[in-house]
Structure 1
Amino acid sequence: MKFTIQRDLFVQSIQDVMKAVSTRTTIPILTGIKLIASEEGITLTGSDSDISIESFIPVEEDGKVLVEVQETGGVVLQAKFFSEIVKKLPGTDIEMEITQGFQTVIRSGSAEFNLNGLDPREYPHLPQIAEEHVFKMPADLLRALIRQTVFAVSTSETRPILTGVNWQISDSQLTCVATDSHRLAMRTAPIEESLSEEYNVVIPGKSLTELSKIVDDTTDPVDIVITENQILFKTKHILFFSRLLEGNYPDTSRLIPSESKTTMSIKTKEFLQAIDRASLLAREGRNNVVKLATEVNNSVEVSSDSPEIGKVVEHIQTSNMEGEELRISFSAKYMMDALKAVEGTEITIQFTGAMRPFILRPLDDESILQLILPVRTY
């Protein structure tokens, strides 16, 4: 194998596949990156058995030559050293050559590195997915769906199914739900293709987080293929495979209250900043709790106190308030996470009582919902 490639492109491609490479793996070869040079271009692969990422750099694109392949072949190189070396090479182009026994020479500018490589045939094969039922989604929408739900997955392994995001597809609509049983994030989006099958799968939160770092914030389409135990996201030059979590996701629709006793509309940024300030003192106390109480004149009081440090009280004007008086306490962190995920300058919050879950939505937008369970303090 011998080829010359643009350094910047190579660095980006390596960084993409590195997101799937784990240092903790029972299969030693998976700590490496597989490189294959063909007449079409260079393919890089990284995997940790749960996530596999393949990145392709074509020989030429839009009339520009990106890679010159003098000799085809393949090698597996230790990911940690290989990625650091390529990042720090001095020249704009990199030449790579494999000699006897997978010894790899990397040259750029005045620098030359020799790395010990492994046989690419020993690298596990990527999942084979029949692309029968494909649906497309703009990359920026996919990123938004992930950003607005993945933060609410559970980090505890006691219920592994809750460490993933539940994707349900039916009637040309995708519903994404994440919950750690103290809060819930939900986002819906239409799907243009009419899929013959309905889907109900759980994608590991970790996979989605890594995917969102790779997908560009553009309207370019991402092809999505779901099988029994894998999901594939396919962009122009990247294949991103993730295993699906096994088990049944709990029915969360029952958690979402259908009626409310107190409703308010409030400016998102103003409310977020007030909660942030209140949490400065709440952090020291028990569990980062902030209190909210309705007042006359359509305003609310946000407060928190920590016996050892002091207390904070702030009054915020709402643009609209209806229903019963309310005093409620909740986790400042959960509220701030939810407010950051909700798009829109103004939100509606619907409460069903001091100890019942409450929901936040952007004003006049039913596609996003955040639910939080209160904390007992009053």
Structure 2
Amino acid sequence: MKFIIQRDYLLRSVQDVMKAVSSRTTIPILTGIKIVANENGVTLTGSDSDISIESFIPLEHEDLEVVELVKSGSVVLQARVFSEIVKKLPKESVEIDVQNHFLTIIRSGKAEFNLNGLDAEEYPLLPQIEENDAFQVPSDLVKQLIRHTVFAVSTSETRPLLTGVNLKIENNELTCIATDSHRLALRKARIDLNTTDVSYNIVIPGKSLNELNKILDDSNDLVDIVITENQVLFKTKHILFFSRLLEGSYPDTSRLIPEESNTEMKVSAKEFLQAIDRASLLAREDRNNVVKLTILEGGVIEISSNSPEIGKVIEEVQSQSISGEDLKISFSSKYMLDALKVLGETDININFTGAMRPFVIRPLHDDSMLQLILPVRTY
């Protein structure tokens, strides 16, 4: 195999597929990147058997010659070393030449590296997925769905299903839900499936979605999504992103969301976030992250935190309106900050059903998303 390629295109593809390469794999060849060159272009593949990413570099892009193919072929190169080499090559053009016994020579300018490669035939095949049942979602919407939910997945392996995001599709509505049993994040979106017969209920590992989020761009380009029994494929123009699915039935979270509230509060998310952020300075020092919210007269909200060794902080925030019962409630400042950050600089409604019941935060004029947080008992 021998080809000459523009370094920037090669580097971008290497960085994309590296997101699937793990040094802690039980299959040694998966610590490498598979490179295949043929008359269509160059394809790079990285995998840790949970996530597999394939990146395609065409011979030409927007009338610019990207790859000059001399001889077709394939090789697997040690991923960490290869990515560092490509990053530091001196010139815009890179020549990759695979010789006998997979010895690979990488040349750029006056720099020349000799790497010992492996036989690409030994590299595990990617999952075979029929693409007939693909549905399409804009790239920027996929990123939003991930960003608004994935932070709430559990980091504990004791309940593996909660380390993933539950993706459900029914009646042309896509819903993503994540919970670690102390908080919950939900985001909905309408999608056009051309049929209402399609329904899915799967759990995608949070780790996979975090890596996918880094690869996708904030464009309106459509992402093809294909779901099978144990895999999901996200396909863009030049990227195939496979992830295994988590096995089992995700818990029914709908019953966690209260239908009624005893206290309703409308407040600016930005002001509220800044006040919680300041209060969390002392909450963090005490390692418990707890802040307390107290409703005072005249629609005033008192935010406070007390750390016996450090000191205390009290701040008042003027709400836009408060109705219902007076309330004192304590919660994790980290969970509240995470929730407010994804809601953005908008006005929000917070609905409480009591000091020890979960409360719900929603944007004022957007019912497509909600955040739910369980309070903390402080006595």
TM more than 0.5: yes
Counterpart residue number, 1:277: 278
Equivalent position of 1:295 in the other structure = 296
Q: Indicate the residue corresponding to 2:63 in structure 1.
A: 63
How many pairs are equivalent? Answer: 378
**Match of 1:336?**
337
Q: Which residue of 2 aligns with 1:347?
A: 348
Letter aligned with residue 144 of structure 2: A
Partner of 1:40: 40
Q: Show structure 1 runs of 4+ deviating over 3 A.
A: none
1:198 corresponding residue in structure 2: 199
Amino acid at match of 1:320: S
> Per-residue displacement from partner, 1:328-366 (whole Å, max 9, x unpaired)?
000000000000111342111100100000000111110
The separation in 2 between residues aligned to 1:111 and 1:54, in whole angstroms, is 28
Structure 1 residues without counterparts, runs of 5 or longer: none
Taking the aligned partners of 1:306 and 1:16, their CA distance within structure 2 comes to: 44
Question: Aligned equivalents of 1:364 and 1:116: distance in 2?
Answer: 59
Q: Tell me if the contact between 2:270 and 2:344 (Cα under 8 Å) persists in the aligned partners.
A: no
**Which residue is 1:218 aligned to?**
219
1:258 corresponds in structure 2 to 259
Partner SS state of residue 292, structure 1? strand
- Matched residue type, 1:179: T
In structure 2, what is the equivalent of residue 91 of structure 1?
91
Contact 1:288 1:331 in 2 (8 A): yes
Q: Is the 8 A contact 2:270 2:345 kept in 1?
A: no
Aligned pairs for 1:147-162 (under 5 A) are 147-162=147-162
Partner of 1:188: 188
Amino acid at match of 2:292: K
SS at match of 1:339: helix
Map of 2:126 onto structure 1: 126
1:359 alignment counterpart: 360
Confirm or deny: 8 A CA contact 1:344 1:363 kept in the other structure: no
SS in 2 for 1:283: helix
Could you list the runs of 5+ residues in structure 2 that have no partner in the other structure? none
TM-score of the aligned structures, taking structure 2 as reference length: 0.99
Give the secondary-structure state (helix, strand or coil) at the position aligned to 1:68: strand
Structure 1, 361-370 or 57-66: larger mean CA deviation:
57-66
Partner of 2:163: 163
| Alignment-derived partner of residue 322 in structure 2 | 321
Q: Residues of 1 paired with 2:147 and 2:35: CA distance?
A: 31
Letter in 2 for 1:163: T
Structure 1: distance between partners of 2:53 and 2:297: 56
Q: Give the corresponding residue for 2:378.
A: 377
* TM-fit CA distance, 1:62: 2.2
The whole-number CA distance in structure 2 between the counterparts of 1:344 and 1:265 is: 13
Q: Distance in 1 between matches of 2:344 and 2:188?
A: 13
Measured in 2, the distance between the counterparts of 1:345 and 1:247 equals 37
Q: Distance in 2 between matches of 1:27 and 1:333?
A: 38
Partner Cα separation in structure 2 for residue 292 and residue 249 of structure 1: 32
Q: What per-residue deviation string (whole Å, max 9, x for no partner) do you get for residues 227-281 of structure 1? A: 0000000001000000000011000000000001111111111111111110111
Bigger drift between 282-291 and 229-238 goes to 282-291
CA distance in 1 between counterparts of 2:270 and 2:194 reads: 38
Residue correspondence of structure 1 range 222-237 to structure 2 within 5 A: 222-237=223-238
Give 1:56's aligned amino acid: F
Distance 2:372 2:297 in 1: 25
